[in-house]
Structure 1
Amino acid sequence: RVGTFGTGVYPNPGLYHYSGSCNHCEEAKCVKGCPTGAMHYGDDGTVQHDKEMCIGCKYCVWNCPYSVPQYLEEKNVVGKCNSCKDLRDAGQNPACVDACVMRCLKFGDLDELKKEYGANLKSEIPILPSATITKPSLLIKPKSCALNPNYKKKEV
């Protein structure tokens, strides 16, 4: 899901977009809240979901502060981003990375990404919950307007 947010007013308006998918949190509330273990950590540390174990209770949906897991009513299970594990296992990027026309998305080891993209990286911006809640595996190099706490979600 991509959201568009506006800040400021003329003559200093700001507009930015945020691509919200699973942040594969270090302390994922969806994993802790799953009674069956369907939501779990993969061998690579990413948060994975086993649809066969899912009973559709929606605890993960309610617990995720980022609203990432989605209840699939027609299947009575939850679905979420798995960071395209099958593509990554084949040495490719997750689909969102290759599909991003602005080339804003990257996926990889956080320490390597910090080295590559340097200073001014954040793990939270005002539109997101505090990073202290789940310790998301997320790095953002925000535009200055994305740091403005007075934002409005825009319908595009």
Structure 2
Amino acid sequence: MTQFGFYFNQAECIGCKACQVACCDRNDLAAGFVLRRVDSYETGVYPASSLYHVAATCNHCANPACVANCPTGACQKSADDGTVFRDEELCIGCGACASACPYGHPVVLDERVSAKCDGCKSFRDAGLNPVCVDACVMRAIDFGDIDELRSKYPDAVNNLPCLPDSAETSPSLLVTPHAAAQEEAFELIIL
């Protein structure tokens, strides 16, 4: 089965949040809700401190916790490309999917319905990229068949100290890490 996923070049990300804004706009999300989130982390102590960013969304996991924990079957995995999506007619907004995901995705909106990244399926069906890919000013995000992405970015990893262990859900995520992101001691900061 084909498995699609994201590649993220963390070493190039400047934390501008253009990907986050584009995703919010495309999904018509109210203030305070995001499907792609850019977090910033600090490591070290001055004068040897570093800052890095993580632009994250649904990792379209091989073993998605959201699908396994959805009581109505609203969270599903596509047989065509392995992406995880939500059937809005089946979603009751219980939040089980959001609680189960170790990556903090999906989200439950004010209307008591969940929302999640589907890799901009309607855009992809029209031959376009997900909006986050095209919005990234540093071209630090890519999307496609995860095996092709592994070949294209052979030095990428999917385990970093700031992320949950990939053994939990087998995320379809590859990252070229910033050097500081490999350090065990880090702190989430608000910019």
1:135 aligned to 2:170? yes
Q: Does the residue aligned with 2:176 lie in a helix, a strand or coil?
A: coil
Corresponding residue number in structure 2 for 1:126: 161
Q: Report matched runs for 1:95-114 at 5 Å.
A: 95-114=131-150
Corresponding residue number in structure 1 for 2:91: 54
Which amino acid in structure 2 is aligned with residue 70 of structure 1? V
Shift of 1:9: 1.4
Residue number among 147, 152, 155 corresponding to 2:187 in the alignment: 152
Corresponding residue number in structure 2 for 1:8: 44
Corresponding residue number in structure 2 for 1:92: 128
Runs of 4+ in 1 over 6 A off after TM superposition: none
Residue number among 35, 40, 44 corresponding to 2:76 in the alignment: 40
**Larger strand share, 1 or 2:** 2
Q: Residue deviations 1:8-65, cap 9 Å, x none?
A: 1122211111011000000000000011111001121100001111011111011000
> How many residue pairs align between the two structures?
154
Q: Does the residue aligned with 1:82 lie in a helix, a strand or coil?
A: coil
Shift of 1:141: 0.6
Which amino acid in structure 1 is aligned with residue 87 of structure 2? D
Q: Provide the C-alpha distance between the structure 1 equivalents of 2:103 and 2:73, rounded to a whole number of angstroms.
A: 20
Q: Provide the C-alpha distance between the structure 2 equivalents of 1:12 and 1:108, rounded to a whole number of angstroms.
A: 36
Q: Does the residue aligned with 2:144 lie in a helix, a strand or coil?
A: coil
1:64 aligned to 2:101? yes
Which amino acid in structure 2 is aligned with residue 23 of structure 1? N
- TM-score, normalised via structure 2 length: 0.78
Which amino acid in structure 1 is aligned with residue 177 of structure 2? P
Quote the sequence identity (%).
48
**Unmatched 5+ residue regions in structure 2?**
1-36
Q: Does the residue aligned with 2:143 lie in a helix, a strand or coil?
A: coil
CA RMSD, 1 decimal: 0.9
Corresponding residue number in structure 1 for 2:20: none
